[in-house]
A and B are shown apart, each in its own frame.
Chain A
Amino acid sequence: MTVLDSTTDPATLTMTFVAEFDAAPEAVWQVWEDPRKLERWWGPPTYPATFTRHEFVEGGECRYHMTGPEGDQHHAWWRIESIGKPHTLELTDGFAGDDGEPLPGDEPVTMRVTFEPTDGGTRMTTVTHFVSTEQLEKMLEMGMQEGMRLAMGQIDAVLASAA
């Protein structure tokens, strides 16, 4: 796996992530389509995801939760907006209440994923668009302790290079 590009744009609240994998687009597509594979990578290791509903068709609804180290559960949902197997996928990802259903008034994140064949592999591009800064903050709060520690390390590096 190679991360080719990762760009954040604070002005438009967009994050673009490009990575290449040594597998055909059909295989990379499977890690999204197959809920048991999806669960192995969507949540951080300390906040594994469980998909209790996974309708991987256009207009389909998905429900999942992440379980934290204290047994705390954080519910969320997807709606599959479009499917162009195995090349394009568009979905919205939002927060849900304890009943697992979307929180009214919550603004979901939209995500567009493309899978392009390369020499013996696949280039996967994910463009995430946040509608609000609260959404981004919540996203980061949800089971991202690990990422946070790493981010702290990055801050030190930034400060060191600025000095």
Chain B
Amino acid sequence: MVVDDWSDGELDRVFHALADPTRRDILVRTMRAGESVSSLAGHYRMSFAAVQKHVAVLERAGLVNKQRHGREQIVHGDPETLRRATTLLERYERLWTDRATRIAGILADEEGNTT
């Protein structure tokens, strides 16, 4: 089953990785097109090493992957992992939609009884 494929700790790594604004920004940039770590480092007021660390966190979570291209490492976002994380939260939304439908049913019943 697609959405239940999470192994222990995998999901934690995904949400931990997403909890940081720099990492979310890296993800958005690399989702559109691959970008080298050095090029990414140019966008942020932090050291190359710090950006590399952020990329490593994203990579461990499976949100990006790196491909060697000559002397450079090109970072690519992995939309599949992000989609799986979002799907989990969407299932919870769905639960609430169903609850709201049942609440409306109860309220409608009551109105029927009192009028």
| CB pair A40 B102 closer than 8 Å | yes
The complex places the Cα of A42 from the Cα of B106 at a distance, in Å, of 12
Total number of B residues with any Cβ neighbor in A under 8 Å: 39
Residue of A12, A21, A155 touching B3 (CB-CB under 8 A): A155
Please pick, from A3, A128, A150, A158, the residue contacting B92 in the complex, using a CB distance under 8 A: A128
Q: Is A57 an interface residue (CB 8 A)?
A: no
With a cutoff of 8 Å between Cβ atoms, the chain B residues found around residue A139 in the complex are: 92
Give the number of chain A interface residues (Cβ < 8 Å): 44
Chain A residues, CB < 8 A from B88? 136-137, 140
Bound together, the chains give a CA A12 to CA B2 distance in angstroms of 23
Interface segment among B10-18, B30-38, B47-55, B65-73: the answer is: B10-18
A17 touches B87 (CB 8 A): no
Q: Which of A103-161 contact B (CB under 8 A)?
A: 124, 126, 128, 132-134, 136-137, 139-140, 144, 146-148, 150-152, 154-155, 158
Q: Which residues of A contact B (CB under 8 A)?
A: 1, 3, 6, 8-13, 15, 17, 19, 21-23, 27-28, 31, 37, 40-42, 44, 124, 126, 128, 132-134, 136-137, 139-140, 144, 146-148, 150-152, 154-155, 158, 162
A154 to B88, CA, bound (A): 11
Task: Tell me the B residues contacting A by CB distance below 8 Å.
Answer: 1-3, 6, 11-12, 14-15, 18-19, 24, 79, 82-83, 85-107, 110-111
- Distance to closest chain B CB from A36 (angstroms): 10
Q: Which of B93, B101, B110 contacts A1 (CB 8 A)?
A: B101
Q: Separation in Å of the B3 CB from the closest CB of chain A?
A: 6
